[in-house]
Amino acid sequence: MQIFHRYTELLERLDAKGHSYQILGCAPDGQPLVCVRAGGDKTPAILISAGSHSTEQAGVSAAMELIDTLDTDHQVYIIPCRDPIGLNGFAYALSLSLGEVPQLADKEAAIELLRARGEILHEEEDLLVALIGEHGYFSRVRHGWSIEKAPALEPLRGRRVYCMAGSEKIEGSALLQRAYSLIVDPEGQILHINRFHDTAWAPVEARVTRDLMAQVEPALTLDLHEHGGDGFWFSARHQGTEVDQQWEQRMADAIIGAVEKAGVELMPDDYLPGSFFTKSRNSVYWLDPRKRGEGFNLSDFGAVTYGPAFTIETGMPMGFANRVAASVLAARTAIGVFEQRYL
Ligand SMILES: [Zn+2]
């Protein structure tokens, strides 16, 4: 189990372990978005992805562990990190505009630098928005925002925004250790990297994933995420055919059974991640992306287009090793049931 502080460390680890990878495309800073082939040659294929939200690093480490250890006859395509810039952190994200990596002692120093070097577009209580070079910078993550709601953000249209993110209490994602990436699309919506999977205009991260999926047609998609709460949960999506739905349900039952048996904390009775989810039991939620809006995320797109898909969410306060272990266990368990389907 390893925490990656730089994306180059992740690539070096793949090399060191003898894993070759395919370069699907490049992030805007030129870093390669890579996919590692694991498993055997049997179809249908499985897709595993992580790291679209850079603060959720246990998913990345879990994907890397799965690359090393997953044993299945099925073809497995693993994209361990969908946001290399975000993984590298806020100072790195600033370097894309400044030409050098600034030394940032703390959040105050980072804000001072935004004021000194940036064009300030918007300011409110705890949120500063600056444009430096080609990129936007937020002093915190803000979801559900758009140029329509905040016309002062017009200069950010079509640009990337990097947010100061993280918490000192979260192992692997202390404040400024990661940069949370947002994208301002041509229509002025401000969305994160796990969106745009079904839209004509899409950032490179979503386009390369969509291209890969079209090639390999994954009959199971697993996207490894994390959330700020204490326990483990995952989302599934109701399937279009009865047989897919039965297997999705079977995988869902197996995942929650295995995780519970391992002693991982689940979510409390009254927890629901959002109004667009329905609950079948604690920690198992069924997501309807059309009710949510913002288009499809990776699992939504996989579920509608190719077959069962799960978004796994480990609780960030659980401790890094526990988070990785829970994520790996959930993925392995789903794959175990998937293998039964295609015996
Ligand atoms: Zn996430």
Give pLDDT, residue 219. Answer: 98
> For residue 249, how far is its CA from the centre of ligand 1 (angstroms)?
22
Check if the beta carbon of residue 141 is closer than 8 Å to that of residue 53.
Answer: no
User: Which pLDDT value is given to residue 282?
Assistant: 93
> Which stretch of DSSP H or E encloses residue 336?
helix 320-341
The alpha carbon of residue 262 and the mean position of all alpha carbons in its chain are separated, in whole angstroms, by: 24
Please tell me the distance between residue 170's alpha carbon and the centre of ligand 1 in angstroms. 15
For residue 313, the CA-to-ligand 1 centroid distance in Å is: 7
**Separation of 56 CA from ligand 1 center, angstroms?**
6
- Residues 313, 224: Cα–Cα separation, whole Å: 7
Separation of 91 CA from ligand 1 center, angstroms?
Answer: 21
Consecutive sets of 10 residues in the chain, 343 residues long: mean pLDDT of each?
95 97 98 98 98 98 98 98 98 98 96 98 96 98 97 98 94 96 98 97 98 98 96 96 96 98 96 93 93 95 97 96 98 98 96
pLDDT score recorded for residue 1:
79
How remote is the CA of residue 237 from the centroid of ligand 1, in Å?
A: 16
274 CA to centre of ligand 1 in angstroms: 14
Q: Can you list the pairs that 150-154 forms with residues at least 24 positions away whose Cβ atoms lie under 8 Å?
A: 150/122, 152/121, 152/122, 153/121, 153/122, 153/129, 153/184, 153/188, 153/190, 154/188
pLDDT at 122: 98
141 CA to centre of ligand 1 in angstroms: 13
Q: What is the pLDDT of residue 13?
A: 98
> Ligand 1 centre and the CA of 117: distance in Å?
30
The reported pLDDT for the residue numbered 26 is: 98
* pLDDT at residue 231, as a whole number: 95
Rounded alpha-carbon distances, angstroms, from residue 330 to 39, 91, 196, 199, 292: 17, 33, 26, 29, 25
Please enumerate in sequence order all residues whose Cβ is within 8 A of that of 200, keeping only pairs 6 or more positions apart, or say none. none
Q: Residue ranges per domain, the chain?
A: 86-192, 194-267+284-343
Residue 149 class from Cβ within 10 Å (0-12 exposed, 13-18 middle, 19+ buried)?
A: exposed
Q: Tell me how long the chain is.
A: 343
Measured in Å, residue 294 CA sits from the centre of ligand 1 at: 15
Q: DSSP string of 45-65?
A: EEEEEE-SSTT-HHHHHHHHH
DSSP state, 266? Answer: B
CATH number of 194-267+284-343: 3.40.630.10
Ligand 1 ion: Cβ-proximal residues, 5 Å cutoff? 53, 56, 225
pLDDT value of position 217: 98
Distance CA 282, CA 270 (A): 8
